Structure 1
Amino acid sequence: MKASKSQFLFSILSFLTLVCTSTNSIASPQGLLENSRQMLLVTVPQLNDYHATLRLYQRASVNGRWQLSSIDGQQSIPAVIGKNGLAWSASLKDKPTNMSYKKEGDGRTPVGAFALPEAFGISNSPHPFMPYIHVDSNTVCVDDSNSNSYNKVVNKSLPNLRQDWSSAEQMADAVPMYNAGLIVSYNPKNEAGKGSCIFVHQWRSPNAGTAGCTAMDSKDITYLVSHLKKVDKPVLVVLPTGEYSSFDSKWGLPALS
């Protein structure tokens, strides 16, 4: 009986350690935002630029109005996105003619609204309000489109895990960028070639873009990670400034000041 119970507990722990970047169901931007009470809004003035502005919005209920909240005393903060700018998410309709679709390895950040289901970090400091992934030497994010683990954060030490990838990001090596961060539920169907391993994390430099993530100063990501709550269903919204007016009413976004 003890052996059976131990095996059961090990199976549960193994399941929890194998973390997928996708959510159980795929929601439209409108659906995600209708059920959210916390939002990180990233606006980008130029389609091919990596400089961006990030704002935090919160509301008391899903029927309430979005209110701009400070980020450690600031109404907005500088951020950086993909080194090649923005790309259109395949899940979105009405792609502007001047924007390409998001592809694996294009160095672009996807446009859209995405759930933020989990926090992660290299330091073993579990998040008080969010599910937390402790990144260690066995933690990788698979970016090989041919792998069954494509676009998933996995722990290589799991027994019976089929390590069928030829390329994966060794997350523990990304110091200090991955000291603290958030999983972005982009490409939740894990469709091959449509982009993988999108996070919110610390920037390498304010003058360097990312591989497709959203990044910022260490104090800002630390503040955000410590203030987001799973119960509020936080969402990341990324839009070019020039297209914002086409989506604010449709998605229920606040007017930009």
Structure 2
Amino acid sequence: MTPEDLVLTPRGLRVHGRLIACSIGRGGITATKREGDGATPAGMHQIVGLLYRSDRIAQPAPWARPIRPGELWSDDPEDPAYNTLVRTPHRFSHERLRRSDRLYDLVLLTDWNWPHAEPGRGSAIFLHRWRKPGRPTEGCIAMSAGNLRWVAQRARPGTRLIVPLLAA
């Protein structure tokens, strides 16, 4: 492991010598991630993208890309575009990336089940802002807006996210 790695521990996310309070999926951590189980997938993942709401926050890093109106993330295993960014109109189940709340104002994308998604193995595993401290996610890793921005400013494409099976 390197200081740049994002490492999930029982006490939080460790990165650059800091321990950051975070929430994980309501289903805990699993080695057998399935769509809709609410679990955070164990393993060594990579950060592959950084999206942000340019109408709400400043660009957090030079490689960040604005979330455009009409952008969605497919979470339907029947969708040929499963676990990828898609645009409206989209007839399959999806998540809106431009949400009315602030959860996705800043999103680090992981390579979980991407770029060649296996249907039903899970989608939209992101690092994003939490609703409130300690409230579980649907499988993502969430933290305060300030800590998320701090992480996003230091992460790069390829930064490793390490989620040990016994981290919870």
TM value normalised by structure 2: 0.88
> 1:102 corresponds to which residue?
33
After superposition, the Cα gap between the structure-2 partners of 1:86 and 1:241, relative to the gap in structure 1 and judged at 3 Å, is: closer
Amino acid in structure 1 at the alignment position of 2:26: K
Could you tell me which runs of 5 or more consecutive residues in structure 1 were left unpaired when the two chains were aligned.
1-32, 45-51, 57-68, 89-100, 158-162, 244-257
After superposition, the Cα gap between the structure-2 partners of 1:222 and 1:127, relative to the gap in structure 1 and judged at 3 Å, is: closer
Shift of 1:242: 6.5
Alignment pair present for 1:118 and 2:49: yes
After superposition, the Cα gap between the structure-2 partners of 1:241 and 1:173, relative to the gap in structure 1 and judged at 3 Å, is: same
Alignment pair present for 1:234 and 2:152: no
Percent identity reads: 27
Could you tell me which runs of 5 or more consecutive residues in structure 2 were left unpaired when the two chains were aligned.
none
> In 2, are the aligned partners of 1:115 and 1:235 still within 8 Å (CA)?
yes
Alpha-carbon distance between aligned partners in 2 of 1:213 and 1:242, rounded to the nearest angstrom: 14
Residues 37-68 of structure 1, C-alpha deviations (whole Å, 9 max, x = no match): 73110123xxxxxxx51011xxxxxxxxxxxx
> In 1, are the aligned partners of 2:47 and 2:111 still within 8 Å (CA)?
yes
Amino acid in structure 1 at the alignment position of 2:96: Q
SS in 1 for 2:5: strand
Report the number of matched residues: 165
Residues 83-107 of structure 1, C-alpha deviations (whole Å, 9 max, x = no match): 121111xxxxxxxxxxxx1100000
After superposition, the Cα gap between the structure-2 partners of 1:168 and 1:39, relative to the gap in structure 1 and judged at 3 Å, is: same
Alpha-carbon distance between aligned partners in 2 of 1:108 and 1:128, rounded to the nearest angstrom: 29
Structure with more contact order per residue of length (Cα contacts < 8 Å, sep ≥ 6) = 2
Alpha-carbon distance between aligned partners in 2 of 1:140 and 1:229, rounded to the nearest angstrom: 23
Alpha-carbon distance between aligned partners in 2 of 1:37 and 1:117, rounded to the nearest angstrom: 18
Please state which structure has a larger fraction of its residues in strand: 2
Runs ≥4 residues deviating over 3 A? 124-129, 240-243
> In 2, are the aligned partners of 1:129 and 1:228 still within 8 Å (CA)?
no
Alpha-carbon distance between aligned partners in 2 of 1:234 and 1:122, rounded to the nearest angstrom: 22
Amino acid in structure 2 at the alignment position of 1:213: C
Residue of 69, 73, 80 corresponding to 1:137: 69
Alignment pair present for 1:53 and 2:12: yes
